[in-house]
Amino acid sequence: MSIFNGLQINASGLALERLKLDTTSTNIANVNTTRTPEGGPYRRKSVQFAENLRQVEEDNGNIMEANKRQSSGVRVTGIAQDQTEKLSYKPDDPDADQNGYVHLPNVNLADEMIDLIQSQRSYEANVASSQVNKQILSKALEISEN
């Protein structure tokens, strides 16, 4: 295990939270977008992620233990689009269909603001954790000088 694993884990968390912030901001910016290049209204996007596991081999005395997996942060697995539909009856709207319904974006502003605050706090927690990791590494260097 490297002494820099903690910093790498924090960096993966920071990258994930930055992507989540960007995605949530895009959702908020398109809360009223009824026309997209693909056709139809804007569809809410969300970041999909999973734990990033890597294979490690540990030397326990003379025995090498293989096929062990160790967490090394998080990884993005994709960005999903919510396909639920939201309709509103507005027969005079230029985007209305033949029945007078307008297909609206499926973005809930209150939910997006909650996601934004949660991502911001997670980002701040990762920053604080990386600062603690740096302090620990700095103290280890001080100890090794003596």
pLDDT band at 62 (very low <50, low <70, confident <90, very high): low
Residue with tokens 């293989």: 66
Q: What pLDDT score does 70 carry?
A: 81
CA distance 1 to 59: 11
Strands (E), the chain: 45-60, 63-81, 86-89, 101-104
Q: Is residue 88 part of a domain?
A: no
Q: Is residue 40 part of a domain?
A: no
Question: Based on the structure, what is the number of domains in the chain?
Answer: 1
Q: What pLDDT score does 45 carry?
A: 97
Q: What pLDDT score does 23 carry?
A: 97
CA distance 106 to 83: 8
H or E stretch including 124? Answer: helix 109-145
- Residue 67 pLDDT > 80: no
Output the pTM of the full model. Answer: 0.82
Q: What pLDDT score does 66 carry?
A: 57
Q: Is residue 98 part of a domain?
A: no
Domain, as residue range, for 49: 3-31+45-81+107-145
Look over the chain and give the mean of its residue pLDDT values, rounded to a whole number.
Answer: 88
Residue with tokens 């990258």: 15
